[in-house]
Structure 1
């Protein structure tokens, strides 16, 4: 396992681990990624099936191509990611396919209140800012603001077709300098009312299927949309397993297995939506925790920081998960667990 954090539960599960350079939301940096992956492959006692990339590589298709030259990529090819993460090219693709998509430009805009500034290949919402004056800075672009609630359609793709995994609703966890920072997601249970109107879900699925056929997208991916009544806009395609796996990976078979199969051309049925709803949120540190104490973390806390490590204020500290009879019940349990965690950390006196 190679990642930015080296959390306690990751280290408990991984046979070997290396910590990458970079920062959450800004991608994994450094050419030493190649050497670290080579080292991990050499440490494996079984034949290496391939490399599964998470977030952080969307802005580095050249690095993805270099990895693919040495290890099999299980997921979207580098050229597909480059195509999907080129903001102007993706807008043109949506226009050709008749998919509603907010206007984008790198040129100076007149009404800054009507536009957002985004970073090419950004993830997690932390890179999104209010529009600035003049042309977009290098590596960034403007996207027109559109109204609506955030949802995502997650699917498996084999380069030609797709199979829907599920629909989630997302929310933001704003901070003073990151007003659109990703907060969490919820999946409705089988007996609850759908999060998306069926005809909108069908339209988004049709659009995603056309994009898969056009780009050769493979593996787990998601179509991020904003929905306002009868109107919807596709804001981006995330060509990788995403944060919503915390609520979606509850089927009979692990979604990672389905991701690998789809990447190799076998589009399997991901399974039915579970009976209960599920929600997950990133819990961002409200103080500087230095060091993190040796806590007895409950089972509903994931991505647990190692005892003795430091977590700066505003950085992701852990992930909380909850299930409930419906989406609202799951989110209510999640909020209660977040308050208990905050009280526990404050009681331990670990902030300063």
Structure 2
């Protein structure tokens, strides 16, 4: 088995947005070298080295130039990085993952795991074989589309989900039957054989006319609050995750997207990577990226107790386009801060707001206040231009 990383070693990060992974790497005592789409101000401050990626947020990263960018970062590190952590943007690119893995050790899911988990029909067949409740999927034309959604295979962030239209599924997309329930996510660590539940979060959306299921934010409840899921439901979901890990060899930090109602629960998909809840989950004594690396190397870490307080994040989408982004004094509670001069289209992710509090209600209230404060500050800045 390969050794665990030591303090001060370099690590490569590639993702649509690498800021959260860079922050997690710093907390784990590692030196991050980052390739992503945005080059936000805080990403550049956290990274030892940075290279821009090409692609479109929500659609993944383009392979052209990516391998050269990673090789450039590895050379910049001086010593061989311990490996590479991939965030969002590779769900439909197991072939690209294989090419990356020829030069850099992949710390997380293997290309074969991603190939199975992010193929909608293969994943549905796996769930059926394991008796896991999963919404029906198809690519065939629908006689009655009223109870169906159309999704892009490997899509992230919810912006790709629409009510189903006429005809067959567009290229790269599929239909999924609507099921009711509240959106929940179960984060876990896996070593390729077994899985351990890390945390459960509740999630919500920020609908827009063209993107009715656009992801907004997530919250982890305080330790003293009632659990988000009943014990029986969590046991069932844990068994489902364990079965999927055993079948696919999935390793590292991942999450299961769940819809929960009074009638039961549905597993919507597995995200085989560190995801959007990394900021609110990386608050335990052991840095979460260190646990991710240990699990990727075949050692399932002990799951530590959850933090006492609640935590939440929410994406703020641009109410107006910024071309360019004006100089702005970002509040301390804001993350993913675009640099002055960057272009941010209307309705694109602008930044992330973070909050903690003694319980869920107080944390959600603070999150709303901070989001409103930010909108006011931005409007004032625009008026002053």
Q: TM-score range by the shorter chain?
A: over 0.9
Judged with a 3 Å threshold, the aligned counterparts in structure 2 of structure 1 residues 290 and 227 are, in CA distance, closer, same or farther, namely same
Q: After the TM superposition, which residues 198-347 of structure 1 pair with which residues of structure 2 at under 5 Å, given as runs?
A: 198-347=231-380
Q: Which residue of 1 aligns with 2:218?
A: 185
Q: Tell me, which stretches of 5 or more residues in structure 1 are unaligned? A: none
**RMSD between aligned residues:** 1.2
Alpha-carbon offset, residue 45 of structure 1: 2.4
Alpha-carbon offset, residue 230 of structure 1: 3.7
Q: What is the SS of the residue equivalent to 1:113?
A: coil
- Range with bigger deviation, 29-38 or 329-338: 29-38
Q: Which residue of 2 aligns with 1:137?
A: 170
Normalised TM-score (structure 2): 0.89
Q: Does 1:61 align with 2:94?
A: yes
Please give the alpha-carbon distance, in whole angstroms, between the structure 1 residues aligned to 2:256 and 2:137: 17
Please give the alpha-carbon distance, in whole angstroms, between the structure 2 residues aligned to 1:251 and 1:90: 32
Moved >6 Å (runs of 4+)? none
Q: 2:186 aligns with which of 127, 130, 153?
A: 153
Normalised TM-score (structure 1): 0.98
Contact 1:287 1:351 in 2 (8 A): no
Please give the alpha-carbon distance, in whole angstroms, between the structure 2 residues aligned to 1:250 and 1:293: 33
Q: Which residue of 2 aligns with 1:163?
A: 196
Please give the alpha-carbon distance, in whole angstroms, between the structure 2 residues aligned to 1:179 and 1:350: 30
Judged with a 3 Å threshold, the aligned counterparts in structure 2 of structure 1 residues 271 and 46 are, in CA distance, closer, same or farther, namely farther
Q: What is the SS of the residue equivalent to 1:81?
A: helix
Contact 1:115 1:144 in 2 (8 A): yes
- Range with bigger deviation, 291-300 or 147-156: 291-300
Residue correspondences, number: 352
Judged with a 3 Å threshold, the aligned counterparts in structure 2 of structure 1 residues 89 and 351 are, in CA distance, closer, same or farther, namely farther
Contact 1:157 1:163 in 2 (8 A): yes
Please give the alpha-carbon distance, in whole angstroms, between the structure 1 residues aligned to 2:35 and 2:384: 28
Please give the alpha-carbon distance, in whole angstroms, between the structure 1 residues aligned to 2:383 and 2:146: 40
Q: 2:106 aligns with which of 61, 70, 73?
A: 73
